[in-house]
């Protein structure tokens, strides 16, 4: 599996192979392989119908695997499903493959990242906020789940991370909560999110009250449709609570 991006660069086969191995390993080792399979399809932004068409199978088969109505697929089926997801992404420009490739190459070894995790099972938005102690000040339409989190020292992130590295804060899924610590108004992290192509499932500004949030930060949250919250729980407590979320 190898293809060209719209910018003319070539996706290296070894990067795609490593990505496929990573996804396959996570599915096979998961306590809930059906949910993990569904999570990866959603990560790639692919519908069951699109994937079924790519693999010349019925959408009901994929639905059965993801719901657990069929027994967990064997490794050969998993390989087919992963190959289909990656091939579809490459056909659409390869945004996700390119993003995950950067993560694989970098290893995300940055002082700006205090904690990062992708959950085995998604957590409901309201349940997530309740468990962590987040006050939601800007809501978004519709139900949404949280699939992971990244806790970021906002000052170090501004100093240390370039545009491409900032996008790697999303780990393996953009359906995550980004926590920014050491903020004074939330303007800088929200501006950074505004100018990047990837958008998180929610943003939490740590260490300030709702009244302290910059009007510009609030405007960006509304314009991007990103729920915005604040928390004054001490960071060590937040990290402990996060470690118990999502299995």
**Per-residue pLDDT tens for 101-132?**
765 665 554 467 777 788 878 899 999 999 99
Say if 6 falls within a structural domain: no
Domain of 71 in residue numbering reads as: 13-103
Same domain, 61 and 150: no
- Out of 76, 103, 130, a domain closes at 103
At 115 the pLDDT is 77
Same domain, 166 and 113: yes
Same domain, 84 and 154: no
User: Do the beta carbons of residue 51 and residue 81 sit within 8 Å?
Assistant: yes
What is the pTM assigned to this prediction?
0.59
Indicate which CATH number applies to the domain containing 147: 3.40.1390.20
225 pLDDT above the threshold of 50 = yes
- Out of 103, 138, 155, a domain closes at 103
At 108 the pLDDT is 52
CA 59 to chain centre: 25
The residue among 114, 42, 127, 28 whose CA lies nearest residue 72 is 28
φ and ψ of 148, to 5 deg: 175, 180
Average pLDDT over the chain, rounded to an integer:
84
Do β-strands 113-124 and 145-153 pair in parallel, antiparallel, or remain unpaired? Answer: antiparallel
User: Do the beta carbons of residue 14 and residue 22 sit within 8 Å?
Assistant: no
Starting at the edge strand that comes first in sequence, how are the strands of the sheet with 228-231 ordered?
113-124, 145-153, 177-181, 202-206, 228-231, 135-138
Same domain, 119 and 219: yes
Instruction: List Cβ<8 Å contacts ≥24 apart for 80-84.
Output: 80/55, 81/37, 81/41, 81/51, 81/55, 82/20, 82/23, 82/24, 82/40, 83/1, 83/20, 84/51, 84/54, 84/55
217 pLDDT above the threshold of 80 = yes
């Amino acid at each position: 599996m190898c293809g060209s991006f719209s910018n003319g660069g070539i996706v290296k086969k070894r990067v795609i192979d490593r990505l496929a191995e990573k996804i396959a390993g996570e599915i096979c080792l998961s306590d809930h392989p059906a949910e993990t399979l569904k999570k990866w399809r959603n990560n790639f932004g692919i519908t069951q119908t699109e994937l079924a068409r790519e693999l010349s199978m019925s959408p009901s088969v994929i639905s059965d695997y993801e719901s657990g109505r069929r027994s967990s697929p064997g490794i050969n089926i998993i390989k087919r499903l992963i190959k289909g997801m990656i091939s579809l992404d490459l056909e659409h420009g390869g945004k996700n493959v390119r993003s995950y490739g950067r993560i694989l190459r970098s290893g995300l070894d940055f002082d700006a990242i205090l904690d990062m995790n992708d959950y085995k099972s998604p957590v409901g938005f309201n349940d997530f906020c309740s468990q962590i102690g987040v006050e939601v000040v800007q809501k978004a339409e519709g139900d949404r789940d949280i699939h992971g989190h990244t806790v970021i020292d906002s000052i170090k992130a501004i100093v240390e991370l370039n545009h491409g590295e900032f996008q790697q804060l999303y780990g393996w899924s953009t359906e995550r909560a980004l926590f920014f610590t050491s903020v004074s108004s939330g303007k800088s992290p929200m501006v950074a999110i505004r100018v990047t192509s990837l958008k998180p499932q929610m943003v939490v500004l740590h260490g300030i009250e709702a009244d302290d949030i910059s009007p510009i930060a609030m405007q960006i949250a509304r314009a991007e449709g990103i729920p915005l919250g604040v928390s004054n729980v001490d960071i060590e407590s937040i990290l402990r609570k996060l470690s118990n979320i999502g299995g």
